[in-house]
Amino acid sequence: MMRLLLRFSFIALFCFLSQQVVVAQMKISGIVKDTGGIPLPGINITVKGQSTIGAQSDAKGRFTVNIPNGKARLVFSSVGYISKEEVVGSAATLKSTLEVRLTPGTTSLEEVVIIGYGTQKKRDVSGAITTVGSKQIAERQAVDVFDALQGQSPGIQISQESGRPGAESSVRIRGTATFEGGADPLYIVDGVQGVNIDGINPADIESIEILRDAASAAIYGSRSANGVIIITTKRGKDGKVKIGLQALSSFGKLAHKLPQATAAERRLLDYKRTLVSNSTLSSSVDSLNPSANADNDYQDMLTRIGARQQVDLSLSGGAKTFNYFGSIGLLKDNGIILNSWSNVARGRFNTEYKPNDKLTISTKILASYRLENRISDGEVLPDALARSAYLRVYLPDGSFLSRSSGAQPNPLAQVLLEKNNFDIYNVGIANSAIFSLSKDLRLTVDANVTAENNSNFDFMPNILSSANPAINTLNVNNGFKTYWQFQAYCNYNKNFGRNHSFNSTFGVSADQTYTKNRSQVGNNFVSEDVITMNAATVQFPSVETQTRIFSNSAFARLGYSYMSRYIVNATVRADQSSVFGASKRLGAFPSISLAWRYSDENFMDWAKKYLDDGKLRLSFGMTGNDKIGAVDQFTRYGLGSNFYNGVSGVATAKTLGNPNLGWEATQQINIGSDANFLKGRLTVTIDYYDKTTKDLLYTAPLPSTTGFNSVKVNVGSIQNRGFEYVLSGYPIRKKNLSWNIAWNMSYNYNRVKELYQGTDLLPGNPNIWKVSQGGHIGDFYGYKALGVYAYNESNAYSQDWVQLTPVFDNNVFTGYTLDGKPYSGTVQKLYVNNVPLKGGDMIWQNMVKDSLLDDKDRVILGNAMPKWTAGLTNLVTYKQFTLSFSMYISWGGSIYNDLRQGLNASITNNNTPEPDFIKGSWVRQGDVTIYPSPAINTGIENGRDGNSMYIEDASYIRLRNLRFTYLFPKKILSKLNLGGASFFVFGNNLLTWTRYKGYDPEISFPSVLTPGIDVGRYPRKREFGAGLNLTF
Amino acid sequence: MKNRFSFLSLSLGLCLLAISCNKQLDQKPISDILYQDFWKTAADAKYGMASVYSGVQKTFSNTFTEWGDARSDNFGASGTGENQVNISYNGLTAVTASADWSNLYSAIARANVAIKYIPTITDPSFTTTLRNHYLGQSYAVRAFMYFWAIRLWGDVPLRLEPYESVDAPPNLPRTNKDSIMNNVIIPDLKKAMTLIDKKSLNVFEITVPSILSILTEVYLWKHDYANVIATTDQLIALRRFSLVTTPSEYKDVFITAITTENIWSLNWNYITDGANGIGAKLGSNSNTSNFQIDIPLDIWEADAKNNPTPDIRRYLNYDTAGVTGSTGVVTAPSVIWKFYPIDINTGKPAAPSRNQNQAKLPFYRWPDILLMRAEALNWANDDKNGAFAIINQVRRRAGAVPLDSTKAKYKNQIQVEEAILDERQLELFAEGKRWFDLVRTDRVLTTMDPIIRDRQFKVKASITGFTDPRKILWPISRVVLNVDPSLTQNPPYSK
């Protein structure tokens, strides 16, 4: 007690003294260098215990700082370097020029983290937030933001729609917490919502913060249930004009080919089919027929070495009152499938003007343009793999075989001659004014506008038409979207004494989204040289829809920190949106989070040597989801699609209105721990979460007798629980050699708790999923394959439905045995559609013990979601050389290989199965095989959807990225008059270890309820490249 | 202190700002009409009525052939597609696409909406005649759709009022089919007769003759022959219908649908309505057909072999060239071009491409009515001569050799009925009648069992034939059962 009092009075005295003109001071000067010995400018030097910055190092790394007499601790800190403390004092006065070496690193606790409507010291963060900095992004040669984020943070799953150039991505933070309210996170770019993320050049990004827990996200209220990703773009820095140039070029190829039947194998299939059905070989596929004597390798014909070129140029600089950052990036990406390409231009201009201490005005302008040819992604490869290898592609005169002269599409003509162009323009302007009303009080007013125009032009020339005479067709779709947002908020931060610091935020916002979609179809073009709508002989009625959504909100945050040791933050947001019924319009989303820096407690003194910093976090919050259709609350009449006899009929829309429609609310608890050991050498972050979404927004099906097929309802509940951790550290940190390694891992467990009227949902086409109470999202539902009946007589079961073994004597059936003993009891058979199964038919597990094999025999066959995912990143620096690589692991999920299922289903003779199927299918009585008879559609559905044979293990380990950089030494640079220069070579998607049989186990999850189906989309390429980075 | 005060006052100001734009939260749909904002004017009634017919169009686009013909001996599967194989081999399942009644009920729901709201229109320009005419059409369409439903699935859910609120229970049990017939279909058709504008001649809409035709078929289905004769008497008394005489007029029955023989056809314009799905079923120039002509082909080819002037319906239905090869083996033509105009270049009809099909599906035309009357005459009055007079009237018009009613094979009423059905099979081929003819006259098992056994034998499939009369009804679709698990499947089909 006495000691405490003493200490207190000392502090009080100290405070008093520091207010006065310091009686006795001492000057300390020195130099700050990095581990390589290069002087570091702009390093902040503070005297520990004083709130103001003591000094900053100059361009040559030199500094001078006044310290009070006696002993003092100096803290050297800067973004990107690990802070260092040096004791100076009476003994040290001798060495009056101090030399301090700082180690680069990103674990500094002094860093600032961007949170909603403000910033926070990383030290004081009480939620689960991950920051990805510009350096980490630069290591990836990312084409877009998603590419930059992949594997960088726990709890986040990113998947690209396909490997097509310009393919969009979807992101899931901590599993799927909704059915159809939209599962992607909310993006905030420089404080603005509604920005098209594809329009952002990753090279322009300063930092990305991922708000994973509800307490961090809840300030964004009704749109935050899927997590929030905050992107901050670069700004100019004081000093000379800086010009940056990065150029890279890369080549990519198909990572691996799938086995496809050759002409000889296809002929074997044709022969086998004659054996299993009473038919003779068709003369039209005889090898002497010139239309059927090719032996095409379609995958070779369709793919090529893809090439990507990317140039990014940036210009930045500033003075005391003004700074700017401008950039332009050009990307030309030619995909690995012929005629697929994407050209992107992205520009940005950020300015900030500070006429005086009281006012800061900033404007950020973003514009992007994207032109793509998307071919028929998702159709080309399945079509090509199904086509018989012996069919010709070219006619004798070198022209393409047209679609109408052959039932199976000509994949080469399809790729080369279809024009499927997308033009996407995107402009965003963000204006903000910050008024510093006093030292502690700041008012920010934002006004932001974005506009996007997305048009698709898809022309199929005559040669691709299956009609006779051919009909060429043009589809034009145009989507236009505008978004405006206004927000105003004030931040009031105040420290009382040295130990108590308060921060508070209060603000309001309003925004409006307007969309206009218009599409038109025309066909029978007068000339294929003119492919604008005026050349169409027939123009179909155009379809147009417009929607407008308005919402407004108020939000507040209150935070308190006692010596950064005890931290509490609370937020609340109230939202109203026009998409909900008037009575359910208002939603409130509170959150609270607590943190305790136990490492600062006295009782932890013993650990000071090892533990730099240790913090425990606990948070609870409620977040919402408002992503439903603009007019789902209303019962409506639709127009334009019910013509009869020349009159445009007006009929009720298929969705019944629900005036009681409200928010989907997610409650999440997060428990976390952050710890830094051994002076930043090891950082450990662990989080556990439990989030439950209630009032799920989803489309409940209605019986068609109502005249509607669905209604949007707020029923049901789903739970996600998970565990995430990050380990990162410097196993080696020497003057010339350093190695940084980071490992993150996430587990997520998902459970459906409640459904509308308890009715299972069977979503998707093919119908292979089941969502049921107590089940999980992504459960595959279908028939378990147990093999193939060898003999007609093999379809025989005992009274208890145990399969009997038929016995043959000289090929004459003599009877059955059960467990090796002769069986003479009742023999039961299995029937499909009332037809008894025979030799060569699939044996399915008979779940309901009756003689019918039908829908009731379906079981849960697996789940699409991985049990855990992990990312590993490495950065090794030796003198001027840097090697970085990253790996990604996804473990435990399954994929339904729809591509293989479709090929092997024997639904039509046009489909050519895999070589394995052709060779391994049943033909004669007694054949023991894994694949059934290749007979075409015998009515007993051997090729049915939901076959467990095609649910494959999708676990994989992938070396996603490898980069080797050489940093030119200063000596050479100064001769060349360069600020910095580096050269790098890199590879992406280099190695994959997996048992999955498709192109790529990393597949898209576009729809929440139907994940994990591989239909044979454009595969991801294996890429090698090199580039140069220059600053002037 | 000052700071805190300004923080509070700023906050208060911002709050007021937020409240001031609350009006914006009431956003109405921009591209749709609100439920309560329609059925206000005479024009609304016209547009609403068009949607009822559009619902009928959508119902029959893909199902007309499969419901009315494909399960009968008119067609067999062409190619190996799962759907057509299941239909032609008596292997319907709950996943067979046409087992889904959703479109049919959508049309019924639109009629229900029209029946509820047409009387509420207060527009003074909406005359009573017009109001009643629209109402009459709505009642008749609803009755017509329920008539199809009970013939296909037996007992079905019955909804006569629009479903309007999410709070109302959406599921309905199945109502007895005879009760629907006697309490809904027949009374509604009679009510429609009183409401409909007698002057309307529009062949694409419900008119007096269309209602009488539906009633004729309804009574025949009930074996109520006296009423069949009564309704056909009424139709004859209109003195509006007669058989067309020339082949080109016969073509017009299906192309323009404006002849002396047309009673009710579905209008179709592929540009606004989308293509008629019948192109995929019966063949087009862009795809092989799902179904190929079966027994009628043999009849017509035998007729062509034996008669110097064969039945004109043969070449009006399909391309006769190459059907009988040099070896005498008859191969089915790939396209049924009955509904398509003659191409001026080739002189033959040509099926349009699948997505340009606008076949105007005939629901009722004069020979159908006459032959139904013949069936009633045969059974009600044992009027063999009257029946044969009608059969031969239809045959003569088609250039076919008239039947000799005195032959021994037309001895009893069953045999006369057989002759009537055979004529209906040829005259109304592919017009959605044959399957119901077989069901109505209890001939499904005797006709189809040997045919299906033969088909199954030919492809080495397990031979099951058509022995279970319960399979005459269609299964209820899995799509329907998934949404409403309280519905029971028609035995012996599985879920």
Least confident of A168-172, A425-429, A745-749: A168-172
**What CA–CA distance (Å, rounded) separates B294 from B71?**
11
Tell me which residues of chain B, numbers 133 to 162, contact chain A at a CB-CB cutoff of 8 Å.
Answer: 157, 159, 162
Q: Name every chain A residue with its beta carbon within 8 A of the beta carbon of B14.
A: 488-490, 506-508, 554
pLDDT on residue A10: 42
Select from B48, B81, B459 the Cβ nearest to the Cβ of A277.
B459
**What CA–CA distance (Å, rounded) separates A477 from A424?**
12
Around Cβ A135, how many Cβ atoms within 10 Å? 12
Which amino acid makes up residue A922?
Answer: W
Contact A557, A505 (CB under 8 A): yes
A707 touches chain B (CB under 8 A): yes
pLDDT on residue A181: 65
Cβ separation A582–B26 shorter than 8 A: yes
Q: Does B486 or A24 have the greater pLDDT score? A: B486
Question: How many angstroms away from the CA of B478 is the closest CA of chain A?
Answer: 9
pLDDT band for A727, please (50, 70, 90 cuts). Answer: very high
Q: Name every chain B residue with its beta carbon within 8 A of the beta carbon of A466.
A: 286-287
Q: Is the pLDDT of residue A540 over 80?
A: yes
pLDDT on residue A36: 64
Contact A656, B163 (CB under 8 A): yes
**What CA–CA distance (Å, rounded) separates B421 from A128?**
78
Cα four-point dihedral sign B3, B5, B8, B14: negative
Shared domain check, B165 and B73? yes
Give the model confidence (pLDDT) of B384-405 as tens digits: 999 999 999 999 999 999 999 9
For chain A, report the end-to-end CA distance as a whole number of angstroms: 61
A909 touches chain B (CB under 8 A): yes
Domain extents in chain A: 25-102
Identify the residue among B27, B57, B175 best suited for mutation to test binding to A, counting A beta carbons within 10 A and taking the highest.
Answer: B27
Last residue of a domain, one of B326, B359, B392: B359
**What CA–CA distance (Å, rounded) separates A728 from A132?**
13
Q: Which of B300, B316, B348, B342 is nearest to B244 (CA)?
A: B316
Identify the residue among B1, B10, B202, B335 best suited for mutation to test binding to A, counting A beta carbons within 10 A and taking the highest.
Answer: B10
Average pLDDT over chain A reads: 86
Q: Is the pLDDT of residue A11 over 50?
A: no
pLDDT on residue A89: 64
Edge-first strand order for the sheet with A805-809 is A805-809, A812-818, A821-823
Contact B330, B309 (CB under 8 A): no
Closest CA in chain A for residue B79 = A908
Give the C-alpha distances (Å, rounded to integers) separating B157 from B43, B105, B141, B279, B293. Answer: 32, 9, 17, 31, 34
Select from A441, A548, A652 the Cβ nearest to the Cβ of B27.
A548
Give the C-alpha distances (Å, rounded to integers) separating B264 from A613, A657, B141, B256, B482. Answer: 86, 35, 12, 12, 35
A275 touches chain B (CB under 8 A): no
Give the C-alpha distances (Å, rounded to integers) separating A206 from A138, A543, B293. Answer: 10, 42, 71
| Residue recorded with tokens 């947001």 | A573
Edge-first strand order for the sheet with A655-656 is A655-656, A710-714, A697-701
A938 touches chain B (CB under 8 A): yes
Select from A541, A642, A647 the Cβ nearest to the Cβ of B46.
A647
Average pLDDT over chain B reads: 91
For the domain made up of A25-102, the CATH class stated in words is mainly beta
pLDDT on residue A357: 85
Closest CA in chain B for residue A506 = B11
**Residue A719 phi, psi (nearest 5):** -125, 140
Which CATH number do you get for residue B190? 1.25.40.390
Tell me which residues of chain B, numbers 61 to 80, contact chain A at a CB-CB cutoff of 8 Å.
Answer: 79-80
Contact B387, B416 (CB under 8 A): yes
pLDDT on residue B428: 96
Give the model confidence (pLDDT) of A964-997 as tens digits: 999 888 888 888 888 888 899 999 999 999 999 9
Least confident of A758-767, A880-889, B259-268, B469-478: A758-767
Last residue of a domain, one of B296, B326, B359: B359
Q: Is the pLDDT of residue A406 over 80?
A: no
Q: What value does the CA radius of gyration of chain B take, rounded to a whole number of Å?
A: 27
**What CA–CA distance (Å, rounded) separates B58 from B103?**
6
Cβ separation A467–B25 shorter than 8 A: no
Q: Which of A443, A361, A428, A424 is nearest to A189 (CA)?
A: A428
Beta-strand (E) ranges in A205-358?
Answer: 205-211, 228-233, 239-254, 306-318, 322-334, 341-356
Q: What is the residue range of B144's domain? A: 37-197+469-483
Give the model confidence (pLDDT) of A76-96 as tens digits: 776 666 677 777 765 555 556
Q: Is the pLDDT of residue B417 over 90?
A: yes
Q: Which of B238, B145, B220 is nearest to B189 (CA)?
A: B145
Q: Assess if residue B331 is contained within a domain.
A: yes
For chain B, report the end-to-end CA distance as a whole number of angstroms: 74
Q: Is the pLDDT of residue A17 over 60?
A: no
B46 touches chain A (CB under 8 A): yes
Q: Is the pLDDT of residue B420 over 80?
A: yes
Give the model confidence (pLDDT) of A730-757 as tens digits: 888 888 888 989 999 999 999 999 888 7
Question: How many angstroms away from the CA of B420 is the closest CA of chain A?
Answer: 34
| Residue recorded with tokens 């001071």 | A25
pLDDT band for A8, please (50, 70, 90 cuts). Answer: very low
**What CA–CA distance (Å, rounded) separates A266 from A919?**
10
The answer for A580, left when phi > 0, alpha when psi is -120 to 50, beta otherwise, is beta
Q: Which of A229, A223, A187 is nearest to A428 (CA)?
A: A187
Entry pTM: 0.85
Looking at the 3D structure of chain B, how many domains does it have?
2
Least confident of A583-587, B11-15, B299-303: B11-15
Q: Name every chain B residue with its beta carbon within 8 A of the beta carbon of A711.
A: 166
pLDDT band for A18, please (50, 70, 90 cuts). Answer: very low
Identify the residue among B9, B63, B118, B163 best suited for mutation to test binding to A, counting A beta carbons within 10 A and taking the highest.
Answer: B163
Shared domain check, B47 and B192? yes
pLDDT on residue A49: 60
Peptide bond preceding A1019: is omega within 30 degrees of 0, i.e. cis? no
Q: What percent of chain A has pLDDT over 90?
A: 48
pLDDT on residue A143: 72
B112 touches chain A (CB under 8 A): yes
Contact B207, B331 (CB under 8 A): no
Q: Is the pLDDT of residue A34 over 80?
A: no
B12 touches chain A (CB under 8 A): no
Q: Is the pLDDT of residue B100 over 90?
A: yes
Cβ separation B24–A404 shorter than 8 A: no
ipTM for the predicted complex comes to 0.93
Structure tokens at A917: 């199927």
pLDDT on residue A71: 66
DSSP string, B4-21: HHHHHHHHHHHHHHHHHT
pLDDT on residue A216: 87
pLDDT on residue A110: 59
**What CA–CA distance (Å, rounded) separates A115 from A591?**
14
Last residue of a domain, one of B312, B342, B359: B359
Give the C-alpha distances (Å, rounded to integers) separating A379 from A298, A339, A701, A1018. Answer: 13, 15, 29, 9
Contact A591, A571 (CB under 8 A): yes
Contact B483, A704 (CB under 8 A): yes
Edge-first strand order for the sheet with A81-88 is A55-56, A44-47, A72-78, A81-88
Give the model confidence (pLDDT) of A637-675 as tens digits: 999 889 999 999 999 999 999 998 888 889 999 999 999
Cβ separation A548–B30 shorter than 8 A: yes
Q: Assess if residue B448 is contained within a domain.
A: no
pLDDT on residue A335: 93
pLDDT band for A697, please (50, 70, 90 cuts). Answer: confident
**What CA–CA distance (Å, rounded) separates A693 from B453?**
56
- Helices B128-153 and B102-117: crossing angle in degrees, nearest 10, is 150
Select from B93, B102, B162 the Cβ nearest to the Cβ of A709.
B102
Cα pseudo-dihedral B130, B136, B142, B144, rounded to 10: -120
SS3 A284: helix
pLDDT on residue A12: 42
A553 touches chain B (CB under 8 A): yes
Peptide bond preceding A39: is omega within 30 degrees of 0, i.e. cis? no
The H or E element that residue A366 is part of is strand A359-373
Strand duo A664-677 + A682-694: pairing = antiparallel
Give the model confidence (pLDDT) of B121-171 as tens digits: 999 999 999 999 999 999 999 999 999 999 999 999 999 999 999 889 899
Q: Does B287 or B66 have the greater pLDDT score? A: B66
Question: Quick one: DSSP state of residue B182?
Answer: I
Tell me which residues of chain A, numbers 561 to 620, contact chain B at a CB-CB cutoff of 8 Å.
Answer: 576-578, 582, 585
Q: Does A858 or A161 have the greater pLDDT score? A: A858
Select from B33, B80, B100 the Cβ nearest to the Cβ of A636.
B33
pLDDT on residue A287: 78
Closest CA in chain A for residue B272 = A643
Query: Span A324-333, mean pLDDT?
Result: 93
CA B373 to chain centre: 21
pLDDT on residue B105: 97
A652 touches chain B (CB under 8 A): yes
